[in-house]
Structure 1
């Protein structure tokens, strides 16, 4: 008989429209009334996508130069060694002067020629030094931050296995280096309606045939036997297809490149379930006897 776990931190309560808690390795939980600090900014900028990060850098660069260009315009064009033109032309000239000042390039075509112009341009040079130091630190943090590159199969399958049935899914390393002592732990939550009509989650440790190996050079198929100790033992095939189940996965291994242990989260729900299917062979051997791993075959399944 499967033993129900105590709440692992996601709550027993549920409802018919409850979304998955983990999607693509990230939390799908919304936070409200959360206190924010300046420390959150660094964490946010380290974890966002490269496209969004570079967009923020470009936007900040343009905005700062536009602000200083406007300040220089208020001081007066006569404070700079440029020929006065229209308002737009003056602003463009001062915008580019701001860009040269904040980057400490200083081409020399435009130079401050007054006290206030000198004070503001000196202040902008300080802002430039500080902001570029901040961006450099963020770039280093983003490049140096170790990230696990584990790929999980798109589907989980249920098939006859030995003297019972089994639930299976596959993982592989997206890099070519060796994963040392990979270990996978999984918790299954089953959402069902109770006697009062409310939806509650029950949590179970998902016992795997083997959840830790010495190293992973190819793909790894994880197997959960649906025997009498399994929380899925009592369900028929039809009931499994209609069951609301989520599997929370924590994958960890020692990464030799960074010389530290890395972690990756993942989850499955039973919309990804395929019954009476099996995973196809994912590797072969070449003429010289070397093992060939085809990354495109991770998700290959076939009907039994």
Structure 2
């Protein structure tokens, strides 16, 4: 199959990137397409393949000279039903091949059915068993004073409330800069966190980046961030102790999401001297501070 150039639209946070001129082959990365498609699209695609296969094999049976027994009028719909029984390996028994031609087509269809069901079973299992991190990120990063220093903060929480062992967080800034040659380039730098590891993430975690003279965001105002088209990316990974698999989560922010002079509303409340209440209804809320 010849490769064709096409336009692809990619969303990166709030940005929409149009990739043009790539020469892509649809079948070259079909496994990735099956894994990344939504469940409705995946099921619709599987149903379409099933219908196409049965339509083709039903037509091949119909071309033969009475290749299947117990079909009175040799209508195409009867051969289609027989194809469905054969491809799905149901085999009710009332219809069966009775000629060499019928046996040959049925043999090919049985192999196709076994192969396609094996592939489908593997894809469904891979989609269900794929580790997913149910991490909730605050809608807005905030910049406020922490420990007497201006600090960028991002809050996140583990929605499952299971333990994520050895959780590691990395915070990146993306910004437009002008190179020594006078070219505008998009540069990314990692922002140092006060603590970038969590031994057992089960509830909430707030990431802190001090805006000192070592920070690429040092002394940058909202207007400065807008001029540099600043973006933030948070990447969290760790071991899901229940599934015994490494999980990853990512969240991107635009400079318009950053709230200056704000801090997160406290969502922890201790009562009865032994119990702690977490109010996730206030998880995204901020206040002046």
TM superposition score category, shorter chain reference: 0.7 to 0.9
Residue among 159, 175, 183 paired with 2:144: 159
Residue among 25, 41, 45 paired with 1:56: 45
Q: Cα 1:210–1:84, aligned 2, differ >3 Å: closer, same or farther? A: same
Residue among 155, 161, 165 paired with 1:170: 155
Question: 2:216, 2:97 → 1: CA distance?
Answer: 76
Question: 1:75, 1:169 → 2: CA distance?
Answer: 68
Gaps of 5+ in 2: 1-8
Q: Cα 1:290–1:91, aligned 2, differ >3 Å: closer, same or farther? A: farther
**Does 2:36 align with 1:47?**
yes
For 2:234, the equivalent position in structure 1 comes to 249
For 2:3, the equivalent position in structure 1 comes to none
Question: 2:243, 2:236 → 1: CA distance?
Answer: 17
Q: Deviations over 1:143-193 (max 9, x none)?
A: 222222222111111223343322111111121211112111122122145
Residue among 148, 153, 159 paired with 2:133: 148
Q: Deviations over 1:221-243 (max 9, x none)?
A: 11111122222223234434554
**Does 2:117 align with 1:135?**
no
Residue among 82, 88, 113 paired with 1:97: 82
**Does 2:257 align with 1:272?**
yes
Matched pairs, number? 280
Q: Cα 1:34–1:257, aligned 2, differ >3 Å: closer, same or farther? A: farther
Question: 1:23, 1:58 → 2: CA distance?
Answer: 32
For 1:6, the equivalent position in structure 2 comes to none
For 1:75, the equivalent position in structure 2 comes to 64
Higher strand share: 2
Gaps of 5+ in 1: 1-18
Q: Cα 1:68–1:237, aligned 2, differ >3 Å: closer, same or farther? A: closer
Q: Deviations over 1:87-122 (max 9, x none)?
A: xxx222211111111112122332323221121112
Mapped contact 2:10–2:19 kept (Cα < 8 A): no
Mapped contact 2:169–2:197 kept (Cα < 8 A): yes
For 1:228, the equivalent position in structure 2 comes to 213
For 1:14, the equivalent position in structure 2 comes to none
Q: Cα 1:39–1:150, aligned 2, differ >3 Å: closer, same or farther? A: farther
Q: 147-156 or 192-201, which moves further after superposition?
A: 192-201
Root mean square deviation of aligned Cα: 3.0
Give secondary structure in 1 for the equivalent of 2:198: coil
